Amino acid sequence: MKLALIAHDKKKEDLIRFVTAYKDIFEQHELYATGTTGKMISEEVSLGIHRFKSGPLGGDQEIGAMIANNQMDMIIFFRDPLTAQPHEPDVTALIRLSDVYNVPLATNMGTAEVLIHGLKNGYMSWRDIARGQGKTNGK
């Protein structure tokens, strides 16, 4: 599965702790992240990760393009709801795209934990079907 990891500045340390706690699950998947977040995860958790530009410089939109092309399976985006973000329209667009294309999106640690356990337990297999890689009706 292809997983996107994004965090606003005040939430980056929380995301790093989360990825560290579930490293055994994350290392089994293709990871993508916006610039600074990806760099921090790569350095602190030692996971291979494809880095896009930082969010304000278009990284959110690059992940959005993957969603629109059915190439992203899950997004974990630790948002900071208490700080205004200069690229809020990009954040809103990313969330809208995840809804349009039925890509699971966690915006906080509680929801992320539910999604990561679902991933571990095989509850994301429907994404293979959505990408045309799975079998349906015994075919």
- List residues with catalytic annotation: 60
For residues 97-122, one letter each, b for 16 or more C-beta atoms within 10 angstroms of the residue's C-beta and e for the rest, the string is bbeeeebbbbbebeebeebbeebeee
Question: For the chain, where are the alpha helices, taking DSSP H only?
Answer: 12-21, 23-26, 35-45, 59-68, 88-100, 109-120, 126-130
Beta pairing class for 74-78 and 30-33: unpaired
Q: Virtual CA dihedral for 7, 12, 17, 22, nearest 10 degrees? A: 20
